[in-house]
Structure 1
């Protein structure tokens, strides 16, 4: 979730070169040094020489008819949304959204399209998600109107323990084992989750749905400016984990824009899954390569862990906002609960009287977010292991109590309140809807950009580092335990009108900021009657238990100064907190999609 910054990129590559040179033996140091210094020098040329789009590359690229960036390398702010009569899908890469609509054109429904898009995203957005990760999905069946939530979140290996990560006196992990390497890897759930969704709610054959992703891996995807920076930032990780670097380097440097990255190993893995189903991943040769690679880098996942992995179909959490019905992710994701909690608090205010992102509006959001994040830190964890006051947190009365504590003239620090009495740093999101009322939101992740860095030998995909989502401190609600799911904030969400007709499906990546982002877009559309794409285009703010308002560019400086006067500490976010993807049903039956302009995202209609 970083915007590209060329000065930063060059510094990172220079630093990585120094690290690389220190590992080169005397016999071949001269040749390699000359080659890499030359490449670094070329990377340091005037930016305008590097920013131009290679028209020949686009001409020969299947998806070259739309790109996410301008001639100067900046993100396009227009042409992100789309409408359709039959269906619309919005995801974080145009290639993946286009693949989704191609499935609809072949007769597939919104669920078929979303699964095809999900597999494709694992190919062309490998920094954010893929076969080595997991996630959540919320689904509405058009025929019945029934809404279900699918949990395919990763779990801790059976050999995991509360003290598996070494910590200092402040509870901080003292090495990188929780972030990179084998110990950071949780048992992945994406393959089982996507195939379950397709089999139960889709209409098409698995091989047909997966074929476009296989072809994308074989033929390659375009490196955009955003992808270029992601690869550059991961250069040291590529050096530390050569199986990873093998895929995404060229001439011993991270691949740059205008290159096409092919991944035949991933194509072969997808073919095995298409042929054998989930057994092609959780058993046999692919499973063995996962276990061997994790073990090589000090991990503890076993073949039994993979074979025993299970997904869960659940009821979503449910709430209301000004008559609209909000359905979102239950625990072990905290996202749905806290999204509803935020909206419940805001419902106590007339949001239409505030000018968007003036000091009063930002102050109200800030105070609301701080209270909610304080509750999240104190109460949230896997409900199979700890008691969580879900009903209390989502109670309208509890929200009313919290709202009454907000002073519109003063910034405050908040501790967690007591919801029990009312009990009665990367991710990807897909939103898809069709003319028959089928809706699906899938949020999936390998956690940080490029996850653990571990790539099973010859398989072409990166394993997650979701063990980092656990607390390393024993005895806490979110501490590590065998087969436990780490806390999440992923919040794929469906909104219905008062008559239960479909209205919107949306979600976002962004770690713990996800539900705070979604609450702002939902309020813009419902309270201010904004066009969906316009609502997504607006800047967003964030605050949490750190009591520090983060803001995106384009927020008025005068209003920020007023916010400071209320006692807020503020800091600018370079880029975006995450990327909202959404699809809505308009009153005339048109399906309208919106995609975040701070990324490579694009909605495509059919």
Structure 2
């Protein structure tokens, strides 16, 4: 029986409707309860407290972010930046909030090179010169003013209270300290926070940070000007310049959050809503999935499937190095890079049984420590959804604290290409598109992402430096296979990033015979000494209203996934 034209039009409009319609002809069942997944139990409980006090998911995200900056300073904080992917329940609007750090106005392309043009060792990593202008404080204020329901005094209250009362140092933070303790010890402000009797603090120690509480109180009272103007701004600029940095009051005054349109990619009947530039994640995810769309990879044997996924990773990371940068400074051929025709061209060079060495792909430019970041995901009972990835870049950022402020500064200048083809701390290479320029935002791998389809919507993301993108892709594939939030967070991982030309595997999940099959195809395979990442996932079933939260078990007893409206308040 043929459909009438009017009915065809109606069905077309219904299929094109915003996310509020999970199924044809029916409204989604709202979440029965909230769900929060973060990298630290204190942060999860802070978010739950703000929800219980009348806030929505976006207010809870402010509480979580501020708390992570206190109890997980190795990973993020108000001295850094991040990306927020939002879905507003009232109208289904999806928006990407760019609170990425930006280069100081006095920055120059060659500022990290010596007289011979070589990058000075660790100049982009340690100390005040490595710091870009933070974006997280402006991002939290923007989130509160445009999407939140309660004032900042409510959403920042849990972190302010805990900073004064004290918290128990986690095993994760304690394990990270030795990586940076030598550099942290050079900063008087960092020594005050992270050392006792000349030795780094230990897991189980109770710490307090009244300076951080005062900084948050300024932001709660004065909003953006509490950080980017006035006494705190002057203190930051004076402290950075005294330590050899190039910040100015004008840098802080000029910083602005940017709202951007998310990327949307269709794959296997699902819609991926993900990060646009200056994140490289969304484009890379789209390219990899578009390449894989030419194969029935879900039905393949594990090694066959992995071979094709690795070849897709190789090509996406190669294009990342060549083309991607801050879209406000460089023209990036995004539409072409995400076209199915372009993916078909990349796919044509993949041999089903042999690896293609990265050196045989077109070269980049003139040939072109431990990462850390944090992620959290939240859905509330109204259906508001947020995925946030925030960072200070490397562990404990640049290991420098301006005395009296209570937080470490980032070393995000390392995410620029200090010289064409010279790897950064994550081994990523780049070219002119990501060169240092005044006011420019460095290319990022942070990839907060939504996946919707099959009457489910998920929010996910992870830290992990250059491995973020591949972890998110593997997590998406898990969700598309019907897995739950916790299974997705715990999924075994592998990674390839074009250069170096090696597959890195998490230990213990491929047997020797499978590894040998990969080597027989020409892949170099390295089994890592440890696992990586810290994925946080929330999942909402729009048929039943059931929600799930999954927090990566790789850091046992530190992260926390919770469903419900009442906080544990373990820190009262």
TM range, normalised to the smaller chain? 0.7 to 0.9
Q: Indicate whether 1:510 and 2:464 are aligned.
A: yes
Does the CA contact (< 8 Å) of 1:338 and 1:393 recur in 2?
no
1:40 — aligned with what?
Answer: none
2:563 — aligned with what?
Answer: 605
Could you tell me which of 194, 204, 208 is aligned with 1:258?
A: 204
Mapped to 2, the partners of 1:555 and 1:227 lie a distance apart of: 27
Which 10-residue stretch deviates more, 302-311 or 563-572? 563-572
Tell me the SS of whatever aligns to 1:576: coil
2:452 — aligned with what?
Answer: 496
Q: 1:139 to 1:460 in 2, by over 3 A?
A: same
Could you tell me which of 107, 111, 115 is aligned with 1:160?
A: 107
2:515 — aligned with what?
Answer: 560
Mapped to 2, the partners of 1:559 and 1:481 lie a distance apart of: 46
Q: Which consecutive residues of structure 1, in runs of 5 or more, have no partner in the other structure?
A: 1-82, 419-424
Mapped to 1, the partners of 2:201 and 2:37 lie a distance apart of: 26
Q: Indicate whether 1:272 and 2:218 are aligned.
A: yes
Give the deviation of 1:417 after TM superposition. Answer: 9.8
1:393 — aligned with what?
Answer: 337
Q: Indicate whether 1:284 and 2:230 are aligned.
A: yes
Mapped to 2, the partners of 1:252 and 1:396 lie a distance apart of: 58
- 1:386-535 matched pairs, under 5 angstroms: 386-414=330-358, 415-416=361-362, 425-473=371-419, 476-497=432-453, 503-526=457-480, 528-535=481-488
Which 10-residue stretch deviates more, 489-498 or 130-139? 489-498
Mapped to 2, the partners of 1:416 and 1:212 lie a distance apart of: 51
1:570 — aligned with what?
Answer: 525
Deviation digits for residues 332-374 of structure 1 (CA, Å, limit 9, x no counterpart): 111111112112222222232134xx32232122111101101
Could you tell me which of 522, 526, 539 is aligned with 1:584?
A: 539
Mapped to 2, the partners of 1:379 and 1:513 lie a distance apart of: 19
Q: Indicate whether 1:87 and 2:87 are aligned.
A: no
- C-alpha RMSD of the superposition: 1.9
Does the CA contact (< 8 Å) of 1:84 and 1:605 recur in 2?
no
Mapped to 2, the partners of 1:416 and 1:92 lie a distance apart of: 39
Give the deviation of 1:181 after TM superposition. Answer: 1.2
2:325 — aligned with what?
Answer: 381
Deviation digits for residues 184-217 of structure 1 (CA, Å, limit 9, x no counterpart): 0101110011110111111111101100011121
Q: 1:468 to 1:417 in 2, by over 3 A?
A: closer
Give the deviation of 1:226 after TM superposition. Answer: 1.7
2:426 — aligned with what?
Answer: none
Give the deviation of 1:497 after TM superposition. Answer: 2.5
Mapped to 2, the partners of 1:294 and 1:177 lie a distance apart of: 15
Mapped to 2, the partners of 1:588 and 1:348 lie a distance apart of: 33
Does the CA contact (< 8 Å) of 2:31 and 2:545 recur in 1?
no
- 1:137-156 matched pairs, under 5 angstroms: 137-156=84-103
Mapped to 1, the partners of 2:289 and 2:394 lie a distance apart of: 28
Q: Indicate whether 1:302 and 2:258 are aligned.
A: no
Mapped to 1, the partners of 2:485 and 2:456 lie a distance apart of: 15
Tell me the SS of whatever aligns to 1:240: coil
Q: Indicate whether 1:106 and 2:53 are aligned.
A: yes
Tell me the SS of whatever aligns to 1:285: helix
Mapped to 2, the partners of 1:405 and 1:158 lie a distance apart of: 43
Q: Indicate whether 1:129 and 2:76 are aligned.
A: yes
Mapped to 1, the partners of 2:381 and 2:313 lie a distance apart of: 36
Does the CA contact (< 8 Å) of 2:184 and 2:400 recur in 1?
no
- 1:353-392 matched pairs, under 5 angstroms: 353-355=299-301, 358-392=302-336
Mapped to 2, the partners of 1:84 and 1:252 lie a distance apart of: 50
Give the TM-score normalised by the residue count of structure 2. 0.86
Mapped to 2, the partners of 1:137 and 1:255 lie a distance apart of: 32
Deviation digits for residues 479-506 of structure 1 (CA, Å, limit 9, x no counterpart): 11110111111111112237xx761111
1:538 — aligned with what?
Answer: 491
Q: Which consecutive residues of structure 2, in runs of 5 or more, have no partner in the other structure?
A: 1-29, 365-370, 421-430, 565-572
Deviation digits for residues 293-349 of structure 1 (CA, Å, limit 9, x no counterpart): 111221000011101111111111111111211111111111111112112222222
Give the deviation of 1:575 after TM superposition. Answer: 2.6
**4+ residue segments displaced more than 4 Å:** none
1:8 — aligned with what?
Answer: none
Mapped to 1, the partners of 2:304 and 2:68 lie a distance apart of: 39
Tell me the SS of whatever aligns to 1:481: coil
Give the TM-score normalised by the residue count of structure 1. 0.82
Mapped to 2, the partners of 1:584 and 1:205 lie a distance apart of: 27
Does the CA contact (< 8 Å) of 2:418 and 2:436 recur in 1?
yes
Does the CA contact (< 8 Å) of 1:493 and 1:506 recur in 2?
yes
Deviation digits for residues 29-59 of structure 1 (CA, Å, limit 9, x no counterpart): xxxxxxxxxxxxxxxxxxxxxxxxxxxxxxx
Tell me the SS of whatever aligns to 2:273: strand
Which 10-residue stretch deviates more, 309-318 or 84-93? 84-93
Give the deviation of 1:478 after TM superposition. Answer: 0.8
